[in-house]
Amino acid sequence: MSKNLQSIVLLATGITMSLCLPALSAAAEELTWRSDILPIVAKCIDCHGAGAPEYNEWMQLDEATRKTVGPRMDTYPYFMSYVVWPATGAMMRRLDDGSSSPGDKPGNMYQHLGATDKERANNLTTIKAWLGEGAWNLNRFKAKGDMPGISKEQLEKIKAKY
């Protein structure tokens, strides 16, 4: 190979590699509660912020009040109480876009994920990826109707890095 041809090949390889790098690092990057999820949850805190009753207190309210007041979910442990326990799967059932729900119906909190379809879809993708592959399950702790209770294998998929 001539010296010139060699440097052209090297240059081309360099350009290709640098073009691929951002994509690679984005895929390998680990999503965290602090950098990726909190900014999304900011859209929820008007109704689910520090002033809202925590889940167990909220459950003590009468049903009519519970329809108008949201429970607290502005910190990692509060948020996770709607993913893992005691409100297993509530986060997934409410935020699902319909694709994982039996009736193709989006959860009633999906609308709050963004102002546009694109923003809502992007934010849902981020939350799903953060929870972990295979961790987006709508099951409750115990079986209800046709839906089986959550399994230990399903729970083990949850990554949700802080």
Residues that bind ligand HEC (CB under 6 A): 43-44, 46-48, 66-71, 82, 87, 90-91, 94-95, 108-109, 112-113
The CA angle 156-47-77, to the nearest 5 degrees, is 30
Count of beta carbons in the 10 Å neighbourhood of residue 96: 21
What's the rounded Cα separation, in Å, for the pair 88 and 15?
48
Minimum distance from residue 9 beta carbon to ligand HEC (Å): 50
Q: In angstroms, what is the minimal distance from the CB of 81 to ligand HEC?
A: 8
Of all residues in this chain, which one has the CB nearest to ligand HEC in the complex?
A: 44
CA angle (106 as vertex; 127, 65 as ends), nearest 5:
95
Which tokens hold the place of 151? 């399994």
Q: Closer to ligand HEC by CB, 53 or 132: give it.
A: 53
Distance in Å, CB of 19 to ligand HEC, minimum: 35
CB-wise, 14 or 149, nearer to ligand HEC?
149
Nearer to ligand HEC, 66 or 157 (CB): 66
Nearest-approach distance from CB 109 to ligand HEC, in angstroms: 4
Distance CA 23, CA 1 (A): 32
Q: Which amino acid is present at 106?
A: P
Residues 6+ apart with CB under 8 A from 104: 98
Measured from the CB atom, the residue of 141 and 159 that comes closer to ligand HEC is: 141
Q: How far is the CB of 140 from ligand HEC (least distance, A)?
A: 10
